Structure 1
Amino acid sequence: MRRVLLKGEPFSEPLPEGFLYHGLSVFTTLRVEGGEALWLEDHLHRLRRHALALGLPYPGDGVFLKDLEALKKELSPFPCLRLRFTVGEGVWLSEARPYTPLPLAAYQEGVRVLLTPYRVHPDLCRFKTGNYLPYRLAQREAEGQGAFEGLLQDGEGYVVDGSRTSPLLYRDGVLLLLEGGLEGITRRKVAEAARELGLRVQEARLYPWELPLAEPPPLPPRLALRRGREGEGVRGTLLLAGSGVGLLPVGPLPEALAPLVERFLPACYTE
């Protein structure tokens, strides 16, 4: 017979061990503005697909829609919310908190990113799972060195994801989507908008030295030799896409990208 204490108090509910201890869950985060959850259908569709891919029973969109209305009512004094839906083993979780956007200056002057030593999971990186430790460590590493975002690589050394955003690179009129990480919904919406604005959009696999990083790391000899053969070239402007930021430049915002960044600005700035 098992006894569980939660914050020192007896916890008598059935214990979903995989959910609590092993990261066996999938989740999605989204923003609520003016009472409307942005791209809600897309988020629920991805959540359902990822749950089924990992063998987790999906409780249905209806339970999350019901939770959404309850959370919006409870937090009605706040104009914008950050929302998270999670599916685990026979459980689901819905949570919301007031959302505060970054200062507007961040979208004009840009933020700083850090390439971290952490790597995405070779099998699970395309799923938004609760097995999130590398991302949390990357975020902590970046923030510890004064950066907004920490970038992660895959086993081959390509930059594929951010700890909380999806990276893109703008170069010579082309928007490059860095492949190999999570299928980001905001990034997909950015790609669609970029095409509408006349930009070319392509998928890409890029090494750290091909990105505008302030402090590129030392390379293993085989990669250093490869860089020497290929040359460093023009690196362009790195961008970060995510539900928490919209579309955020790394470094000063080029004039050519202003219309795209403005389209994804959070609509809930406070005085």
Structure 2
Amino acid sequence: MADQVIWLNSALCPATHAGIDPADRGFTLGDGIFETLRIAGGAPRHVALHLARLRQGAAALGLTVPLTDTQFQTAISTLLTANALSDATLRITLTRGTGPRGLLPPANSNPTLLITTAPFIAAAPEISAVICQTTRRNEFSPLSRIKSLNYLDSIIARREAAARGAEDAILLNTKGDAAEASAANLFVLQGATWTTPPVADGALPGILRARLLARNLAREMRITPQNLLTAACVCLGNTLSLRMLTMLDGKQISTDPTAAQALRTVLESPDT
């Protein structure tokens, strides 16, 4: 980290010299959003989809996005070159900026934009999980559709999973249906059809999820905990990985490596 360069607001900056104002609302209140991108061969994958989702989240929260898409791509390219990275994970973090004490945002805010990179580390192709008992996904909250800086529910779920000897947790919504994992969408093979929970059930509108739906490789469907136990295959996927679920609540479940690989091929494809 000592030698890493970041992008802060409008320019490159050594990570060791970066400063975030203590009154930044992203730090004090989680008032912001983020996007995580996969960098392969020196190029960001599906950057247009990520930037579109960033702008949708910003609009929902009334945040100002300080760069155009072209300026974002220039900043990303400049940062990757500075860090000599061709295979990486890149994160864009956008906050409302500084503000006085209290919840109501200032009338005129000056956003903070931070872009950071890290070497890409491939996840294992298989994973274990539990059905989370300590928190639930609120499908009625607008935040269920936004990649906000508040990930405390996911942190609670992941801590529970670790305490129960698993790697991840499946969050149910307020009705008791499966919504998503702590940081991934659910893909459930029922018969010959890959299904995924609807956004209305609390699923984050993920980039991989959107691409699979657009290509008619998956369809939205209500998914119950029992569906997870009886499905032909269950995968947890996001823009960085597609992992096949092998154990749920300590029980072996059905797997289909060939079917999972078909989804993984879409994940690894550079097309939109």
Aligned residue for 1:68, secondary structure, equals helix
Equivalent in 167, 190, 195 of residue 212 of structure 2 = 190
Q: Report if the CA contact (8 A) 2:244-2:260 is conserved.
A: no
In the alignment, the residues of structure 1 paired with residue 259 and residue 26 of structure 2 have an alpha-carbon distance, to the nearest angstrom, of 45
Aligned residue for 2:58, secondary structure, equals helix
Q: CA deviation at 1:47?
A: 0.1
Q: 1:27 and 2:34 equivalent?
A: yes
In the alignment, the residues of structure 2 paired with residue 72 and residue 41 of structure 1 have an alpha-carbon distance, to the nearest angstrom, of 17
In the alignment, the residues of structure 2 paired with residue 69 and residue 156 of structure 1 have an alpha-carbon distance, to the nearest angstrom, of 44
State the percentage of identical aligned residues: 25
In the alignment, the residues of structure 1 paired with residue 207 and residue 122 of structure 2 have an alpha-carbon distance, to the nearest angstrom, of 19
In structure 2, the partner of 1:66 is 74
In the alignment, the residues of structure 2 paired with residue 131 and residue 241 of structure 1 have an alpha-carbon distance, to the nearest angstrom, of 20
Q: Which amino acid in the other structure matches residue 264 of structure 1?
A: L
> Superposed, which structure 2 residues align to 1:58-137 within 5 Å?
58-60=65-67, 61-76=69-84, 78-89=85-96, 90-103=111-124, 106=125, 110-117=126-133, 118-121=135-138, 122-123=140-141, 124-137=143-156
In structure 2, the partner of 1:162 is 181
The alignment of Structure 1 onto Structure 2 pairs a total of residues equal to: 224
Taking structure 2 as the reference length, the TM-score comes to 0.74
Q: Report if the CA contact (8 A) 2:168-2:182 is conserved.
A: yes
Equivalent in 193, 204, 211 of residue 221 of structure 2 = 204
In the alignment, the residues of structure 2 paired with residue 126 and residue 202 of structure 1 have an alpha-carbon distance, to the nearest angstrom, of 18
Aligned residue for 2:127, secondary structure, equals coil
> Superposed, which structure 2 residues align to 1:214-253 within 5 Å?
234-245=230-241, 247-251=242-246, 252-253=255-256
Q: CA deviation at 1:48?
A: 0.6
Q: CA deviation at 1:28?
A: 0.8
Q: Report if the CA contact (8 A) 2:43-2:86 is conserved.
A: no
Q: Which amino acid in the other structure matches residue 204 of structure 2?
A: L
Taking structure 1 as the reference length, the TM-score comes to 0.75
In structure 2, the partner of 1:4 is none
Q: 1:259 and 2:254 equivalent?
A: no
Q: Report if the CA contact (8 A) 2:236-2:244 is conserved.
A: yes
Root mean square deviation of aligned Cα = 2.3
In structure 1, the partner of 2:107 is none
> Unaligned regions of 5+ residues in structure 1, if any?
1-10, 213-233
Change in Cα spacing, 1:175 to 1:67, as seen in structure 2 (3 Å) is: same
Q: Which amino acid in the other structure matches residue 238 of structure 2?
A: G
Q: Report if the CA contact (8 A) 2:88-2:118 is conserved.
A: yes
In the alignment, the residues of structure 1 paired with residue 235 and residue 211 of structure 2 have an alpha-carbon distance, to the nearest angstrom, of 14
Q: Report if the CA contact (8 A) 1:23-1:132 is conserved.
A: no
In the alignment, the residues of structure 1 paired with residue 158 and residue 172 of structure 2 have an alpha-carbon distance, to the nearest angstrom, of 13
Q: Which amino acid in the other structure matches residue 68 of structure 1?
A: I
